[in-house]
Amino acid sequence: MEDSKLEAGVLGSILSDSEALDRCLNYGAKPEWFTGKNQRLFKSLSGMHLADEAVDLLTVGDKLNGVGCGLDYLTDLVDQVETSAFVVSYLEGVERDYKRRKIKEVAQKALRSDDDPEKVASELSEALTSIISTEIEKTTADCMDDNILVMDNACDGVVAGLPLPWERFSNHTGGIMRGSVCPVVGRDGKGKSGTVAQILDYWAGRDIPCLAFSFEDVARRTLLRMGGCREWYSAMTAETGRALFNDRWEKITQHEREELRRKMLKYKAFIDEKPFWIIDTPMTVEEVCYQIKHHHRVHGIQGVTIDGFKDIVHSVGESETAREKHIAKALFKVAKECNIALLVVSHVHDVPDDMPLSKRNLMGSKVQTQGARQVVIFQDAGVEGVDGETTFQLSMTKSNYGGGGSVLLRRDDSVFHYTEMT
């Protein structure tokens, strides 16, 4: 059906059936989806409906003369529609054509621009994302229903946010909250990525739809760590063909090789059936946000991890601080818009190796933690019971949602799995 016929189908349905307009408004129809005088007509019809005025062919003809839609035009619209039953189908076509027009507009604007290609690509990506994104407005009643659900879940032992593999820590902190960014901060190369891999595997095991950005490493190695956590095999053995025996790395036997293959194939079958997606292609923050919105819209993702913040490609900003502010702001915005829990691995700098990390000395992470409502610190030194080799601590040093607190973790280096210590 042509653009004009699709618009006529929607408007004719509305004029012949007052309930058709309710279906359009519930779908989220907007005047800008229509063209020319049809746009003015839909805006007027919506306004009359919201003012509790009758919307039909007999009552609106005289009133709409002012927008160039006389009775003859309205009658012609009604005559083109046999039934209003397909109004939503017509509306889907109108929305699709609107998005095509907008895409052409932003593409033409990009082609005419004399700005740097990086800036043009950034603006183009953001514009395209805004075109295809759909925002759903919640009523106050919806929000209070959500609060009651959170309360009921809390009383039944279900955390408000996305749960963590370590039960006591998860229950005390409430998990990782949706609609916000939670930096996981620690020194470089100490094991933060391993904890995130274990969290991803845990979410997958609970069928929580999630998206992982593996920027610090290739996707296969993140999956290798995830599989090691569940099937209890060594990622290092899988990559080297050697296993640690009596403090020496020795070549594995054929039997051990077949057993390792069996475990890896078992995890392959497991993760292939789960709502899990992973990306390791270098991206700007605009591209990251586009992927998050796309996966949220198409797959309903609830959790996102980014490993790591420093590897997001810079697109805006003259200084490092300005670039990081731009990235952080974009991530905060997309987390709230999509109502997802967003874990971001960040590195801290210029803190002595034997000193514990705290809110006071997180300045090494610059703006990455500023504005975050939750911050998790991965401690590898300076805390009782932590040796930085096999024992570590996770601490929720900032939480606007519930309890903070910490948990001691013991790491099994053969499989890179963290267990909550009693």
Q: Any idea what DSSP says for residue 407? A: E
Q: What is the DSSP string of 309-353?
A: GGGSBP-S-SSHHHHHHHHHHHHHHHHHHHT-EEEEEEE--S--T
Domains of the chain by start residue, with CATH: 3-112 (1.10.860.10), 152-231+258-420 (3.40.50.300)
Give the model confidence (pLDDT) of 236-259 as tens digits. Answer: 899 999 987 777 889 999 999 999
Query: Does the reported pTM lie above 0.85?
Result: no
Task: Please report the pLDDT score of residue 63 as a whole number.
Answer: 67
Model confidence band, residue 365 (pLDDT cutoffs 50, 70, 90)? very low
Task: Please report the pLDDT score of residue 133 as a whole number.
Answer: 61
Nearest CA among 320, 344, 346, 349 for reference residue 334:
344
Task: Please report the pLDDT score of residue 399 as a whole number.
Answer: 63
CA atoms lying within 13 Å on the CB side of residue 1 = 20
Least confident interval from 111-115, 120-124, 311-315: 120-124
What single-letter amino acid sits at 87?
Answer: V
Other beta carbons within 10 angstroms of residue 288's beta carbon come to 23
**β-sheet with 180-186: strand ranges across:** 276-279, 210-214, 303-307, 341-347, 180-186, 374-379, 391-399, 405-412, 417-420
Residue 33 has pLDDT above 80, yes or no: yes
Q: What is the DSSP string of 368-381?
A: GSTT-SEEEEEE-S
Task: Please report the pLDDT score of residue 131 as a whole number.
Answer: 74
Would you put residue 17 in left (φ > 0), alpha (ψ -120 to 50) or beta?
beta
Non-local (6+) Cβ contacts of 28 within 8 A are 134, 136
Other beta carbons within 10 angstroms of residue 417's beta carbon come to 21
Span 39-64, average pLDDT: 78
Percent residues over pLDDT 70 in the chain? 90
365, 126, 277, 275: CA torsion to nearest 10? 110
Non-local (6+) Cβ contacts of 277 within 8 A are 210, 211, 212, 295, 299, 301
Model confidence band, residue 368 (pLDDT cutoffs 50, 70, 90)? low
Instruction: Report the residue count for the chain.
Output: 422
Least confident interval from 152-156, 269-273, 288-292, 321-325: 152-156
Task: Please report the pLDDT score of residue 124 as a whole number.
Answer: 76
Average pLDDT, the chain: 86
d(CA 333, CA 345) in angstroms, rounded, equals 18
262 neighbors 253 (Cβ within 8 angstroms)? no
Residue 277 has pLDDT above 90, yes or no: yes
Model confidence band, residue 212 (pLDDT cutoffs 50, 70, 90)? very high
Give φ, ψ of 278 to 5 degrees: -140, 140
Span 81-103, average pLDDT: 91
Helix axes 285-299, 117-132, angle to 10 degrees: 20
Give φ, ψ of 70 to 5 degrees: -75, 180
Task: Please report the pLDDT score of residue 349 as a whole number.
Answer: 76
Span 384-397, average pLDDT: 91
Task: Please report the pLDDT score of residue 1 as a whole number.
Answer: 46
Beta strands 391-399 and 374-379 are antiparallel
Nearest CA among 218, 225, 262 for reference residue 417:
225
Q: What is the DSSP string of 198-226?
A: HHHHHHHHTT--EEEEE-SS-HHHHHHHH
What is the SS3 assignment for 145?
helix
Q: Which of 55-59, 135-139, 162-166 has the highest mean predicted lDDT (pLDDT)?
A: 162-166
